[in-house]
Amino acid sequence: MSFESQGAPDASSYASNSRRPPFFFRDEYSSLIVKGNFMTLAAKPKLVEEGEWLAHQVVEQYRLLEQMIDIIKVMDDRSNPPRPIICNPETCPTMSASGHTYTWLDNNKKPIKIPAIQYINLVQKWIIGKISDPSIFPTDTSSSAFTPTAASSYVTGSITPGSSTPQPLGPTSLNAPLSQLAGRDWLGKSSGFPETFEADIKSIYRQMMRCYAHIYHGHWLEPFWHVNAWRELNTCFIHFINVGKLYNLLGDKEVEPMQPLIDLWLSKGLLSPPSPSQQQQPPQQPLKENVPMGGTQQGVMAS
């Protein structure tokens, strides 16, 4: 009997079977909207520099996550002023997932608990600011197609990149830092990305992981099950995890709230097992990622 014929799960059945794993950790709810090997989507083309490829992947992963976030941001137009129906300060007073509570930093760099919807809004603003910052994601500003509006639209996925899409510039001896001229190397150096690029994209990826964890643990049943969008959520998330693990953008600690689902996909062969080199790597150190609530883009130590 298929899981569709078993009837929709509801909160009461979840409560009465609290010893069982959440629905999204069960095999019958782990399916996707596509078939095939996600390694094909994550594999870097031979002629593309790795920094450029990861910049593309980060922008694409944020575009997919943004679509999932929009589902939990549905507004109640009957209230005055309109407010989110699903994820709001009453339903989600903290940004949490499976016993993990994520804090933000206030203007005094003190970690504080804030409602999940506020945390997610801050993350979105922070990520867009990072991706739109030409000092982090360098762009060809000589292109007539590049404007702040166009850059913002591309970041949020509202326009499709084409021949006029801004491309990273290669470093030159006129503007290269001394460390670069001295022969130091880093991810994306040959394509003009800064020395901090790897740390920046890992910070972005970590914050996106927190959003996915909250979406699953806080909102899988309502709304994703009820609007029949849980397969779409699974598909976006498995692609996100595949890229994150393949390029070491995520550590074991960061994926802990969703590890049972990842293990399930690994057992089905939908994800590739970690390579020996990845298994031998030491645990990742905390990254500088959160920003004060005042909105500055300067990173400070995450809580």
Which residues line the annotated binding site for Zn(2+)? Answer: 87, 92, 214, 219
Amino acid letter at 193?
A: F
Six-digit token string for 27: 């095999």
Look at residue 29 and give its three-state secondary structure: helix
Numbered residues of the known binding site: 87, 92, 214, 219
Distance CA 230, CA 9 (A): 12
Burial 150-189, CB ≥16 within 10 A → b, else e: bbeebbbeeeeeeeeebbbbebeeeeeeeebeeeeebbbb
Measure Cα distances from 36 to 84, 237, 267 in Å.
Answer: 36, 15, 15
Measure Cα distances from 226 to 10, 125, 235 in Å.
Answer: 10, 28, 17
The torsion region of residue 222 among left (phi > 0), alpha (psi -120 to 50) and beta comes to: beta
* Phi, psi torsion values for 149, nearest 5 degrees: -65, -45
Question: Is 180 in contact with 189 (CB distance < 8 Å)?
Answer: yes
Residue 12 CB: number of other CB atoms within 10 A?
A: 8
Distance CA 248, CA 274 (A): 10
The DSSP H or E segment spanning 95 is strand 95-97
Distance CA 146, CA 165 (A): 8
State the DSSP code for 91.
T
Look at residue 184 and give its three-state secondary structure: coil
